[in-house]
Structure 1
Amino acid sequence: MNPDWLIFLTNHNAHIEQNRVLHFGQPAAELAQAESGLLLIDLSHLGLIRFSGEDAQDFLQGQLSCDIRAITPERAGYGGYCTPKGRLLCSFLIWQDASDHSYLMQLPAELVESIAKRLRMFVLRSKVLIQDDSGHFIRIGIAGQNAQAWLQETLPDAPITAAPMTVTSIPDGQIICHSANRFEILTIPAQAPSLWEQLSKQVRCAGAPIWDWLEIGEGIPVIFKATQEQFIPQMINLDSIDGVNFRKGCYPGQEIVARTQYLGKVKRRMYRAHLDTDSHMEVSAGDSLFSADTGDQACGMIVNAAPSPAGGVDVLAVIQTSSAETGPVHWKTPDGLQLAIQPLPYLAACRTLQIKG
């Protein structure tokens, strides 16, 4: 986290651990407002890798699962970076910096160093510079039913649209529309404090767990260290959010990813679910899931988890489809808490996600 920004947030009552804002002094009130109110969220827990140079597009096209040619200064997209066996090392959001057309990849800060180091190994003679650019921009999330209107009022000269994955240029930064009610602002450190002050006049400040919960609600998976190399892209539904292009050329793991798709052998998929946990129970990425049809063998794994405004925890979980269809599915042990499966916004129309029993 930018040192000056850390001081600024601390002075505004932010409770911070390991560069992640947990809350602003009222975690329960922040969570209660997540469903209906406007929220302002620091996103310093997410890192940025910048790819610059004349060969950057070709290099990334040969490394990532998404179609980099579709990424522009006006259009962001999701994607994954796989091992040669098709297993995901990270998932990410990627877009172009309007100032120089370099590419910015956003992913958990804990993965920035290792992913950048691995990608540098394959640059060879390509004219590509890969660098940790996490401190170059301050990133601020704003979410809620009137997020677009409030942003437009705050930044009247920027034509902000609510079309998902649209990127709007603003002075010294950009605005990314994640969904109709969720936006991300990138701005330089010198401008961030005044922008935060302006936005926070009528908006409640909230911690990073709220952003996590919003991503879970939209079915956007995030790979962490605990889940690296556990899933192929289709298992976490990257193909459902345009994070995989099956018509592009080769990239690490492409043969396995494509074969799985065309042979129809995706036996595990990502579901959204709720757990009625007690406050002392910690649900974490990487936790195992169990079902009667698999006995003592795990039938799935938690991908992401966050406290729910309704109480308990909401999760994204990769589950064997046969187990999800026959259910119930249990957390951590064969007789643990039962998952209540909920619809995903992009799959509700084409698949019923219902656990019986």
Structure 2
Amino acid sequence: MHQDWQAFLDSQGARLGDDGAAHFDRAPAEPDCGVVDLSHLGLIAIGGPQATEFLQGQLSNDLRELTETHTQLSSHCSPKGRMLANFRVLRFEERFFLLLPRVQMETLLKRLRMFLLRAQASIDEVSDALVCFGLIGDCADDSLQHAFGALPSKPNAMVRAGDTALIRVADPVPRFLLIGPVDSARAAWEAARAAGAELANPDLWALRDIRAGLPTVLPETSDSFVPQMANMHLIDGVSFHKGCYTGQEVVARMQYLGKLKRRMYLARTRLDADAEPPAPGSVLSSADSTSEQSPGHVVDARRGVSGDCEMLVVAEIKAAEEGELRLGDDGPTLRISPPPYGFTAHA
């Protein structure tokens, strides 16, 4: 975290959590409008004359569709087609930026540098050079419009004010991701607070991602899911016409020749009041499964204000839709539902 940004958050009464982001002890669980420090996310910058060609051979999405007003979700896969990391990709001038959890940075940096070889491109970690925070709700729309003009109206759309970006994130309520230098981030944060936004914690951002059906690959689930298993093809995270990239053959074969046997669902269950939500990678069980492998795994989980534990799970389609899924071997039953975008293939 940039030291000036940390000093500003300290002045707001924050404490630094184990995830590297600011937490506020008295923050409401789900305010109607809130600001969330997202310093647990990091940034990788890729630039140079051959940056586009290099990344095009490594990412699951098509960089030719990326513009300075449109960001992408994407992933980097193993040769077996399983996601080692997933992230948001944005473009500032001649550089690309990958936004992902800091706990995944080392894995992705190591992999990308391994493939760099003699390409005329540079790969740099710039996590502390720019600030990242989120805004949830519409109370700050006027202040954002004053700074950025027209706000992005569609998911993944981006507007800029100088070297600061504002990105619309998929959600039934207005949700924005702001990335920029400390001074502009501080001004936007203060303007949002003056407009009525309450201080909120990073768990709220993760909960909104869960409800929107947006998966996050974490160390516990790295190299576990082919993109289609985590619905990446349904949220514009995979291109099937871009050509070769690492793992592309497996991903394409599943799309055109295979049958998808697992996919990602929303799930809810009731836990004891003092029980922690299941960790990413936690195993599911089902008496209806015929597979020798576990019938599913947790992608991410958080508690909602109702007291329910809400989660994303990748699970066998047959067990999820025709049978019963449980947490662990003898844990509570999960209530399964499709993500908000449904399971219709993206056009």
TM-score tier by shorter-chain length is over 0.9
Gapped regions of structure 1 (runs ≥ 5): 352-357
Tell me the equivalent position of 1:82: 77
CA apart distance, 1:19: 4.8
- Counterpart of 1:308 (choices 294, 304, 311) is 304
Deviations 1:42-66 (A, max 9, x none): 1111111001011111111111111
> Contact 1:279 / 1:312 at 8 angstroms: preserved in 2?
no
- Counterpart of 1:32 (choices 14, 26, 30) is 30
Gapped regions of structure 2 (runs ≥ 5): none
* 1:174 pairs with 2:157: no
* 1:11 pairs with 2:2: no
Deviations 1:173-202 (A, max 9, x none): 111111361101112023333332222121
| Structure-to-structure mapping, 1:55-70, within 5 angstroms | 55-70=50-65
| Structure-to-structure mapping, 1:1-357, within 5 angstroms | 1-21=1-21, 23-27=23-27, 30-33=28-31, 37-97=32-92, 100-146=93-139, 148-153=141-146, 155=147, 157-179=148-170, 181-201=174-194, 202-282=196-276, 283-294=278-289, 298-333=294-329, 335-347=330-342, 350=344
TM-score, normalised relative to structure 2: 0.93
Deviations 1:264-320 (A, max 9, x none): 421000001112112322211010001111379521000011121221211000000
Query: In the superposition, relative to structure 1, how do residues 199 and 213 fare at CA in structure 2: closer, same or farther (>3 Å)?
Result: same
Write the distance in 2 (CA, Å) between the matches of 1:226 and 1:265: 25
DSSP-derived class of the 1:293 partner: coil
The list of structure 1 runs, each at least 4 consecutive aligned residues, that deviate by more than 4 angstroms after superposition, is: none
Tell me the equivalent position of 1:355: none
Write the distance in 2 (CA, Å) between the matches of 1:297 and 1:114: 26
Write the distance in 1 (CA, Å) between the matches of 2:140 and 2:231: 27
DSSP-derived class of the 1:31 partner: coil
DSSP-derived class of the 2:220 partner: helix
Amino acid corresponding to residue 173 of structure 1 in structure 2? T
Query: In the superposition, relative to structure 1, how do residues 291 and 19 fare at CA in structure 2: closer, same or farther (>3 Å)?
Result: closer
> Contact 1:73 / 1:96 at 8 angstroms: preserved in 2?
yes
- Pairs aligned (count): 340
> Contact 1:146 / 1:181 at 8 angstroms: preserved in 2?
no
CA apart distance, 1:261: 1.0
Write the distance in 2 (CA, Å) between the matches of 1:345 and 1:20: 30
> Contact 1:176 / 1:183 at 8 angstroms: preserved in 2?
yes
